[in-house]
Amino acid sequence: MTPPSLDRGVPRGLPAGLLLVAVVAHLSAAPVSAAGHPGHGSKVVLGTLKEATPTAIVVEVLDPQRGGITRVRVDLQPDTRFRIDKERLTSLDGMIGQRAIVSVDWEDDDRGGQTLRATEVRFTRPKKSTVLCHAGVVTTIAAQGRPSPLA
């Protein structure tokens, strides 16, 4: 015998399985937004570190829409992490000109743009290169495998 509390939820003459199918169908038809709230989010900025101040960095990125290079300002926060590979960095000294991977949180601002705030700034160590000497010509082969003559 079914306990009275469970018996009240199912109308007489309607199989419980059919009711379950109807509820699942109704819930799956409801729209679900995967994009949280409009006006803010997270993304990654990839480019070359061009400037660094105590409050912000400037990263030069390739802009395929404009067909050139754009400079992007990213604000630094007190809890922004800095790393080279997996090691912590305490300073950005010597990192200007290096390839940067910047994880940012962004918000729409009053001017119609976005304010970017860095959560993490990562760098990778340069790959080792091999120097070859053949017939008096010194050539370096970088990690990409492309030879380039040394000046």
For the chain, domain boundaries: 40-123
Secondary structure percentages of the chain, helix, strand, coil, to 5: 10, 45, 45
Question: Comparing C-alpha atoms, which of 110, 113, 49, 43 is closest to residue 84?
Answer: 49
Q: Please report which confidence band the pLDDT of residue 96 belongs to, taking 50, 70 and 90 as the band edges.
A: very high
Per residue in 44-88, pLDDT tens?
999 999 999 999 999 999 988 888 999 999 999 999 999 999 899
Cα separation, 17 vs 75, whole angstroms = 55
CB atoms within 10 A of CB 102: 23
| SS3 at position 87 | strand
* Helix residue ranges per DSSP H, 36-103: none
Sheet arrangement for strand 147-149: 130-134, 137-141, 147-149
Pick the CATH number of 40-123 from 2.40.50.140, 3.90.1010.10, 3.40.50.720, 1.10.1660.10: 2.40.50.140
| Two tokens, residue 56 | 């912000």
Q: Which residue has the higher pLDDT, 29 or 73?
A: 73
What is the separation of C-alpha 127 from the centre of its chain, rounded to a whole number of angstroms? 23
Asked if pLDDT for residue 43 goes beyond 60, the answer is yes
Query: With 70 as the cut, is the pLDDT of residue 32 above it?
Result: no
Per-residue b/e over 31-55, b at no fewer than 16 CB within 10 Å? eeeeeeeeeeeeeebebbbeebeee
Q: Tokens at residue 40, please?
A: 């803010």
Q: Which tokens go with 58?
A: 């400037």
In angstroms, rounded to a whole number, what is the distance separating the alpha carbons of residues 140 and 21? 67
